[in-house]
Amino acid sequence: MNTLAGKHLVLGLSGGIACYKAAELCRALVKAGASVQVVMTEAAEHFMTAVTMQALSGRTVYTSQWDAREANNMAHINLSREADAIVVAPASADFMAKLLHGRADDLLSLMCLARPLDSVLLIVAPAMNREMWANPATQRNVAQLRADGVHVLDVGQGDQACGETGDGRMLEAEEILDDLQAFFTPKTLLGKHVLVTAGPTYEAIDPVRGITNLSSGKMGFAIARAAHQAGAQVSLVAGPVSLPTPRGVRRIGVRSAHEMMQAVQAQVDSVDVFVACAAVADWRPATSAEHKIKKDGSGQTPELSFVENPDILATVAQSARAQSGALFCVGFAAESHDLLAHATAKRARKQVPLLVGNIGPSTFGQDDNALLLVDAQGATELPRASKQDLADDLIAEIARRL
């Protein structure tokens, strides 16, 4: 579900070195299926050329309220009425102060003031020096803009063009894109708390070796992202993977199945939905050596014995809250063959209302997947698609069942 497809956005650039990120953002928006009309302030033209933004957007850039192309000489009215949202990125400290006081001395500020409040979102991505961002005047302005209904995005932290380090950087293009997609996503899980497990577990044999699997965590992370964009509060218990945490999601890192069980048990009493997407190891070594097990040249292999790991999904699904319907549980089954038979049997054994099956070897580490949804009424196939699209579909299905 690409929520930006078919949307028309005005991308406004105010003055600041972060204008270079606006070029990447423009390209990402167009790639996501949105049409983009760029409007630049005079100050922005000192950092980025209109020619560059025209090439990326495929539309002539507007820079003046006196643009002769508009027959009625009202570009601020015409352009704002066509938009689904006005996105100002970067938004300088000066431009935010201008918005706060309703000043309208250039085309971009005129458009922001003239936009229909009930139908055109105003979203600003601040960008400035860390001291400017921390200044009480700026913080008062941000608070009042939010109170006025303006969506002020967070700022990033890190090295700044001035040579200092701290808060105030404009978010990266992918982060802003993620936030924009969330704005247009139906809030089907608003007020719900969703707990997701993702990735593999790692069961240590000794300090340098262990038992794990090929799960990349991509499916679980996509589900967490989709749930957050649908309005839910999301907690993500993740095994040892290097994926970036989805925006707005609380991540709890674990390694072993035992650690994952502890993390789930600490959260599950306060959640409405539990999605067990992690590929949890079924067994672990009975003991873990304190030091690396060394070869001795004899050709003899060390003897390893195993014990069964706790069944996280079954434990949660058979809890009083799940059995009463207060907690909706979704399980995953990664199989190598006979998917329908194994997924159907696992759903009954784990006592979950919805079991999602897939063929592990064909999806581990990939960006796409194919899913089989199994419930008491039968099975429904979700054909191969990107994991994010499948996650969006799964979250919509969970919301419908709730």
Q: How far is CA 147 from CA 114, 140, 152, 190, 219, in A?
A: 18, 11, 10, 20, 36
CA distance 377 to 369: 23
CA distance 154 to 173: 13
Specify the 3-state DSSP secondary structure of 378.
Answer: strand
CA distance 374 to 177: 33
Q: Is 329 a catalytic residue?
A: no
* Cβ 399 vs Cβ 188: under 8 Å: yes
* The residue to which tokens 């340098």 are assigned: 208
DSSP 208-243: TEEE-----SHHHHHHHHHHHHTT-EEEEEE-S--P
C-beta atoms surrounding 163 within 10 Å: 6
CA distance 265 to 259: 10
Determine which one of 112, 162, 277, 329 is catalytic. 162
Specify the 3-state DSSP secondary structure of 192.
Answer: coil
What positions carry a catalytic annotation? 162
